[in-house]
């Protein structure tokens, strides 16, 4: 039974590493991460029920895991270059789904196969002993907890992912032949050494063979700097942060923004984002009292520290903190807050473009303070997709600030203030009097950007009916995703209101279908019970993943801990239900009722949680209790299958596979339909209604 613990450790770490690498190199956003996690889940399920030909049954699982994991990592980093895409290029949804199957599936399949082999061995030795079926999941969950915890606290800042191919060594005790054991250990070590030493060559291929490459591991994702044709480009967590040739854009953002601030005072300025030397030098050309550079990633702060201009150290303060957490806990007020963030192509970045974040900004501006940032746009012709995206952000700004100024360009500059006058003459007059020394940006460029006809054209196109971008309904993120998908699907047209109506109608008919099918077949009803547990569990987890990223901004750092807590709860729940051995007829009904209540409590407190400094601990609790409910269900489900005359030998794998298939459908539903189109609140309502249906269904069975 103990062998399930090392299997759980390997499954946990391999899952975390592969999904992180896939997200940063290919998928680029959290919803695609949720979907790719679904393919991991379903591949595990397929492995657990697969019938392996006799000639492959002697295949050593530890060696197979090490080899396939290494190949998967290499292919993840080579996939884009092999199909002619650049690292920063957007990947179509169809390609994400295909690559998920090819690159994530094999490792997960072997994990599921190992689970099947170990369960069959245990059942053969201990048939129907102390509800042994549920204990398999409990011991694997202990391994998941250990692996996830170790990953979060010790290994999340790795720079070379293939080093983890050593991990299957902990499975070697299952091999009894000492010579085979030594051989497989040597082969695993050799595989790890070769792949680890050659990983940098793979990265160079991924970045189209740059002249120089710097790869640093961080808890928020890889920090990669590449130099090619004299241009240095910096990437963090898969997003483009800055290039050394951005001086023109830097001058535009800094001088347009600070021209809106009061010229006559020594300014206290907050800069949010990856501050590079050029930006700091441009800010320093104005009356500067202090400059706080706020960045969530400590490695990027260190890079900024190395490039600080001489003579400004006493005025510049580097702050490493989550900007939202910092703004909630500081009393400092600023004369200008400038933000330089990548486009909101994922939830991690979108959280800085929401109404919720803008309110935090407004609370830390002096009465005439200004806030400025940029978003992708077009200067002359705005497509319907750009209009929706730009409108979702500008509508959020207008809900918070009384005054706002939109300056159209390929990167639209937005300036906002509560009381400061924002008009063309004021900005131009300030810029003329300040006389900053610039290379690219001049008064003539400034006047061109402020051309009334061009600004009126853009302003009139923006649609006030477009939903405001918020944490709970990330319309900016969704509209940007659609904007990016247009590149792959030029004829894509999505009417959001019709899509929402269609999804709601489909969910209604699906609920009716579940009720009808359940009454037609007891066996089908038993399988639906298992699938519903998996769907609810992963659905709630997926929603909390997004909430955690929106409110806390550290999903890929603390993902291992979240999964570890879920698995700890699962193990406790399984042992608890096994211990009490009281499986009443309505036990499953009661379990679904508890699920509905748990989700309703979260639904009722969504906005409150977002403003709490200890929000992440609430999410930790939810993962723990969610795991507890899931684990508690396994003994009940096993008993239900026995009652409905399922084969004893297949009960464990039936629960495992049906649960994972339900979880797979949950990831697809949440990642592609519920969260992006309905938002967080309505997604939670969907889960509540699902559990109410199964509460009533099991009550009358």
What is the DSSP annotation of 653-692? HHHHHHHHHHHHHHHHIIIIIIIIIIHHHHHHHHHHHHHH
Q: Are residues 293 and 347 in the same domain?
A: yes
256 in the same domain as 193: no
**For residue 491, what pLDDT band results from cuts at 50, 70 and 90?**
confident
C-alpha to C-alpha distance for 528 and 662, rounded to whole angstroms? 8
Highest mean pLDDT among 161-170, 435-444, 662-671: 161-170
Q: Are 165 and 52 part of one and the same domain? A: yes
Question: How high is the pLDDT of residue 639?
Answer: 79
Q: Which of 463, 485, 507 is the last residue of a domain?
A: 485
490 within some domain: no
Work out the average pLDDT over 552-569: 90
Q: Could you tell me the pLDDT band of residue 701, with boundaries at 50, 70 and 90?
A: low
Asked whether residue 308 is domain-assigned, the answer is: yes
Higher pLDDT, residue 136 or 218: 218
Q: Is residue 6 in some structural domain?
A: yes
Same domain assignment for residues 194 and 282: no
With a CB cutoff of 8 Å and minimum separation 6, the contacts of 675 are: 31, 34, 542, 543, 546, 683
Distance CA 398, CA 602 (A): 29
User: Does residue 520 register a pLDDT over 90?
Assistant: no
pLDDT value at residue 374: 93
- pLDDT score at 643: 78
Instruction: Please identify, among 423, 456, 485, the residue that sits at the C-terminal boundary of a domain.
Output: 485
Judge whether residue 601 has pLDDT over 90: yes
pLDDT at 649: 67
| Residue 576: per-residue pLDDT | 83
The Cα angle at residue 149 between residues 143 and 153, in degrees rounded to 5: 150
Rounded to an integer, what distance in angstroms lies between the CA atom of residue 558 and that of residue 262? 42
* Contacts (Cβ under 8 Å, ≥6 apart) of 683: 539, 543, 670, 674, 675
From the list 658, 677, 692, 621, the residue with the least C-alpha distance to 133 is: 658
E strands present in 212-266: 212-216, 223-228, 231-236, 239-243
The pLDDT value recorded for residue 304 is: 81
Report pLDDT for 545.
94
43 vs 31: CA distance, rounded Å: 19
- Pick the range with the lowest mean pLDDT from 306-310, 324-328, 334-338, 586-590: 306-310
Q: What is the pLDDT of residue 78?
A: 94
pLDDT at 53 over 70: no
- Dist. CA 528–CA 659, nearest whole Å: 9
Q: What does the pLDDT read at residue 278?
A: 75
Does position 539 have pLDDT exceeding 60, yes or no? Answer: yes
Residue 225 located in a structural domain: no
Q: Please report which helix (H) or strand (E) contains residue 375, including its range.
A: strand 365-376
First-to-last alpha carbon distance for the chain, in angstroms, is: 34
> What gap in Å lies between CA 181 and CA 169, rounded to an integer?
9
Q: Is residue 580 part of a domain?
A: yes
Work out the pLDDT band at 127, boundaries 50, 70, 90: low
Interacting residues of 272 by C-beta distance below 8 A, sequence separation 6+: 294, 295, 323, 337, 338, 339, 340, 341, 352
314 and 463 part of one domain: yes
Is residue 375 pLDDT above 60, yes or no? yes
Confidence of residue 291 (pLDDT cuts 50, 70, 90): very high
Running DSSP on this structure, what letter comes out for residue 550?
Answer: H
Claim to verify: residue 510 and residue 535 sit in the same structural domain: yes
Please report the pLDDT score of residue 54 as a whole number: 59
Last residue within a domain, chosen from 458, 485, 512: 485
Could you tell me if residue 199 is inside a domain?
Answer: yes
In DSSP terms, which residues pair with 413 in a beta bridge?
374, 407
Amino acid 1: pLDDT: 67
Q: What is the pLDDT of residue 648?
A: 67
Percentage of residues of the chain with pLDDT beyond 70: 95
**Chain segment 439-479, per-residue pLDDT in tens:** 888 898 889 888 888 888 888 889 999 999 999 999 999 99
On the question of pLDDT at 692 being above 70, the answer is yes
Q: Do 331 and 464 reside in the same domain of the chain?
A: yes
pLDDT tier at 652 (50, 70, 90 boundaries)?
Answer: confident
* Domain match, 370 and 336 both: yes
| Residues contacting residue 237 through CB under 8 Å, at least 6 positions apart | 24, 220, 221, 222, 348, 556
Tell me what percent of the residues of the chain surpass a pLDDT of 90: 43
Least confident of 9-13, 165-169, 449-453: 449-453
Return the pLDDT at 59.
63
List the domain range (segments joined by +) for residue 567.
495-701
- 143, 5 Cβ separation under 8 angstroms: yes
Q: Does residue 393 share a domain with residue 526?
A: no
pLDDT (tens digit per residue) in 199-247: 999 999 999 888 888 898 998 989 998 988 878 888 888 888 877 767 7
Task: Give me the CATH number covering residue 604.
Answer: 1.20.1250
Is pLDDT larger for residue 380 or for residue 199?
199
Q: Higher confidence at residue 457 or residue 647?
A: 457
pLDDT confidence tier of residue 324, bands split at 50, 70 and 90:
very high
CATH number at residue 413: 3.40.50.150
CA atoms within 13 A on the CB side of 572: 14
SS3 628: helix
The radius of gyration computed from the CA coordinates of the chain, to the nearest angstrom, equals 27
Residue 219 lies inside a defined structural domain of this protein: no
Regarding whether 501 and 469 lie in a shared domain, the answer is no
User: Domain count of the chain?
Assistant: 3
Residue 133 has pLDDT above 70, yes or no: no
pLDDT at residue 618 is higher than 90: yes
State the pLDDT confidence band at 121, using cuts at 50, 70 and 90.
Answer: confident
Contact residues for 525 (Cβ-Cβ < 8 A; gap 6+): 517, 518, 519, 697, 701
Residue 462 backbone dihedrals phi, psi, to 5 degrees: -60, 140
pLDDT at res. 644: 73
| 271-287 confidence digits (pLDDT tens) | 998 887 678 888 888 88
For the chain, what percentages of helix, strand and coil (3-state, to nearest 5) are there?
65, 10, 25
Q: In terms of domains, do 440 and 559 share one?
A: no
Answer yes or no: is pLDDT of 582 > 60. Answer: no
**What is the average per-residue pLDDT within 88-110?**
90
Q: Which residues contact 574 (CB under 8 A, 6 or more apart)?
A: 134, 135, 137, 138, 141, 631, 632, 634, 635
Q: With cut-offs at 50, 70 and 90, classify the pLDDT of residue 195.
A: very high
When pLDDT is averaged across residues 331-340 and rounded to a whole number, the result is 94
Which of 386-390, 509-513, 653-657 shows the lowest mean pLDDT across its residues? 653-657
The predicted structure's pLDDT at residue 328: 93
Helix (H) or strand (E) holding 340: strand 334-340
One domain for residues 650 and 675: yes
Across 52-61, 327-336, 605-614, 626-635, which has the greatest mean pLDDT?
327-336
| Residue 302 covered by a domain | yes
- Provide the mean pLDDT of the chain: 87
């Amino acid at each position: 039974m103990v062998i399930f613990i090392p299997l759980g450790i390997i499954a946990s770490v391999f899952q975390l590493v592969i999904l992180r690498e896939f997200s940063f190199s290919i998928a680029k956003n959290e919803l695609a991460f949720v979907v790719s996690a679904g393919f991991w889940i379903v591949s595990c399920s397929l492995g657990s029920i697969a019938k392996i030909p006799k000639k492959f049954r002697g295949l050593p699982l530890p060696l197979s895991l090490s080899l396939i994991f290494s190949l998967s990592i290499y292919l993840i980093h080579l996939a884009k270059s092999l199909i002619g895409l650049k690292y920063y290029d957007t990947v179509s949804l169809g390609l994400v789904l295909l690559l998920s199957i090819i690159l994530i599936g094999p490792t997960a399949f072997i994990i599921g196969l190992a689970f099947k082999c170990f369960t069959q061995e245990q059942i053969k030795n201990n048939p129907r002993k102390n509800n042994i079926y549920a204990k398999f999941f409990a011991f694997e969950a202990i391994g998941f907890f250990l692996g996830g915890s170790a990953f979060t606290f010790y290994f999340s800042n790795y720079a070379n992912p293939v080093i983890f191919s050593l991990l299957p060594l902990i499975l070697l005790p299952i091999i009894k032949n000492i010579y085979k054991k030594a051989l497989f250990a040597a082969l695993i070590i050799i595989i790890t050494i070769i792949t680890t030493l050659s990983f940098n060559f793979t990265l160079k291929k991924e970045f189209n063979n740059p002249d120089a490459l710097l790869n640093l591991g961080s808890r928020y994702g890889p920090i990669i700097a590449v130099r090619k044709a004299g241009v240095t480009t910096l990437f963090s967590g898969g997003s483009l942060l800055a290039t050394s040739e951005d001086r023109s854009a830097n001058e535009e953002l800094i001088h347009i923004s600070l021209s809106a601030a009061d010229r006559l005072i020594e300014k206290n300025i907050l800069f949010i984002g990856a501050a590079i030397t050029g930006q700091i030098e441009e800010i320093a050309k104005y009356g500067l009292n202090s400059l706080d550079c706020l960045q969530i990633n400590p490695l990027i702060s260190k890079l900024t520290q190395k490039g600080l201009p001489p003579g400004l150290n006493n005025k510049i303060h580097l702050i490493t903190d989550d900007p939202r957490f910092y703004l909630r806990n500081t009393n400092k007020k600023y004369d200008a807050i400038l933000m330089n963030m990548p486009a909101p192509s994922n939830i991690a970045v979108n959280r800085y473009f929401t109404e919720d974040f803008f309110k935090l900004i407004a609370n830390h501006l002096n009465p005439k303070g200004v806030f400025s940032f940029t978003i992708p746009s077009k200067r002359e012709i705005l497509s319907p997709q750009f209009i929706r995206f730009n409108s979702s952000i500008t509508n959020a700004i207008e809900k918070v600030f009384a005054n706002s100024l939109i300056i159209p360009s390929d990167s639209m500059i937005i300036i906002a203030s509560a009381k400061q006058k924002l008009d063309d003459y004021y900005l131009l007059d300030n810029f003329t009097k300040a006389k900053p020394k610039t290379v690219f940006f001049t008064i003539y460029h400034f006047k061109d950007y402020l051309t009334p006809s061009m600004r009126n054209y853009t302003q009139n196109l923006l649609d006030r009916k477009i939903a405001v971008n918020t944490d709970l309904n990330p319309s900016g993120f969704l509209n940007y995703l659609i904007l990016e998908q247009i590149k792959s699907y030029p004829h894509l047209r999505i009417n959001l209101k019709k899509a929402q109506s269609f999804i709601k109608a489909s969910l209604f008919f699906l609920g009716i279908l579940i009720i009808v099918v359940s009454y037609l077949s007891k066996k089908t009803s038993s399988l639906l019970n298992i699938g519903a547990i998996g769907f609810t569990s992963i659905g709630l987890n997926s929603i909390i993943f997004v909430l955690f990223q929106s409110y806390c901004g550290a999903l890929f750092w603390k993902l291992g801990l979240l999964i570890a807590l879920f698995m700890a709860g699962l193990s406790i729940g399984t042992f608890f239900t096994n211990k009490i051995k009281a499986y009443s007829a309505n036990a499953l009904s009661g379990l679904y009722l508890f699920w509905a209540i748990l989700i309703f409590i979260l639904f009722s407190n969504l906005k409150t949680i977002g403003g709490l400094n200890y929000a992440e601990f609430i999410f930790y609790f939810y993962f723990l209790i969610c795991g507890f409910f899931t684990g508690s269900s396994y003994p009940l489900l096993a008993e239900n299958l026995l009652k409905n005359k399922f084969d004893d030998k297949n009960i464990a794998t039936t629960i495992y596979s049906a649960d994972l298939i339900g979880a797979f459908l949950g990831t697809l539903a949440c990642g592609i339909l519920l969260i992006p189109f309905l938002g967080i609140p309505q997604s939670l309502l969907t889960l509540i209604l699902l559990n109410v249906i199964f509460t009533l269904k099991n009550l009358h069975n």
